Amino acid sequence: MGPHSWLCQLCLVLPWVLCQGKSRTQPEQVHLSYPGDPTAMTVTWTTFDPASSIVEFGPEPSRVFTSSAKGHASRFVDGGWLHRSMFIHRVTLQGLAPGQRYAYRCGSPLGWSRPYSFRALQNGTDWSPRLAVFGDMGNVNPQSLPRLQRDTEQRMYDVILHVGDFAYDMDECNAMVGDAFMRKIEPVAASVPYMTCPGNHEEKYNFSNYRARFSMPGDTEGLWYSWDIGPAHVISFSTEVYFYLNYGRHLVQEQYQWLERDLQEATRPDRRRRRPWIITMGHRPMYCSNNDLDDCTEHESIIRRGLPQHLYGLEDLFYKYGVDLELWAHEHSYERLWPVYNYKVYNGSAKSPYTNPRAPVHIITGSAGCRERLDPFVPNPREWSALRIEDYGYTRLQILNRSHIWLEQVSDDQDGKVVDGIWLIKELHGPKAWH
């Protein structure tokens, strides 16, 4: 056991032992997720002994809990040497009024959480969702988290997108690092739907901590799923199935086939008219200009081109169905690409590159803060790289309407300064927009 492991045990096991007097049925690690229905919201939390799964809630501003909902708990046993077990509770609130704020608490007569509040998502397509987007946030050095928490308290976001890599790592110290991170993110994640995708740092024990702790839509334990918000269709998927083939090569094929079916459905003319924006989120990017040996630095990157013989490559698939915006992380930096396909730039025009672009737009936003610090860039930007920023920070995204999206990058190093901002404007969506 190396020095880092001993430090881990000292910092995490000792407090765990000292806190055994605390009720093991007290809820912690509370977080929300959106099940895909604007009249519903899922609440997830953890206890360390069995307890009922109850959420009491009521419309604000009264803060009186006029309703209650019951759910279920699943026992999760971590794969570490302690084989620690915990109980993950899930309750989906039904019958919410879209756009209404609700106060809630979760737990059981054996212990209740502190009260939180959230706003049910609005219904339909004629509203302007506001999202915070980031990846690669750790329990150590989560530099952007205090600012994100302040933003959340000011009700700046409707949804949070965490594009892979949590805690660094959730499994470490017998999953106590995962517990510590989920406690740390709770003030944000218990107030706004916290939507996730897996990254490479979730790999241990076949992504078991990721699959157990989160409650995403669909039936794949959050590995891949999709949902609608306002005038957009959002697709979350696992880039990791391409790299950890020991967990099953069939997962690459299953996910790819699911992606194609989902894209076919999302691009049906009646659906694309109502929700023209298609946005993807996956952890490892197709392109990047960082000074490391990651897959995105390779010309034939696996995510872009697929497994050997170009099997299940995602660039052609996303281009075929006219994906508008691709959100990535993994690189601990911010990089905005010109509209690009197969290494060729397809700007809308020299003056307005993001107005009617003829290829998807890629944003890499993995600088939220973790123990691995920031990733440098190669000295000279690639011709498809529009802007590179090596600051801690995160991205804000507003889907204004069917034709306009606003994207901006917040630098935590520069005291919250907005260091990048673009309008993505499209009069046409789908593959016909490329021609």
367's torsion region: left (phi>0), alpha (psi -120 to 50) or beta?
A: alpha
Read off the pTM. Answer: 0.96
Tokens of 354: 């993001």
Angle in degrees, CA 328, 401, 319, rounded to 5: 45
Which residues in the chain come in under a pLDDT of 50? 18-19
Q: Are 197 and 164 in contact (CB under 8 A)?
A: yes
**Predicted local distance difference test score (pLDDT) of residue 18:** 45
- Distance, CA of 26 to CA of 299 (rounded, Å): 50
User: Looking at residue 250, what is its pLDDT?
Assistant: 97
C-alpha 287 chain-centroid distance: 19
Q: Could you give the 3-state DSSP secondary structure of residue 417?
A: strand
pLDDT score for 188 = 98
Q: CA 151 to CA 374: how far, in whole Å? A: 23
- Are the C-beta atoms of 105 and 56 separated by less than 8 Å? yes
Q: Look at residue 62 in the predicted model and tell me its pLDDT.
A: 84
pLDDT at 149: 98
Nearest alpha-carbon partner for 401 in 109, 126, 34, 24: 126
The pLDDT of residue 9 is 57
Helix axes 172-189, 145-153, angle to 10 degrees: 30
Asked if residues 343 and 112 have their Cβ atoms less than 8 Å apart, the reply is: no
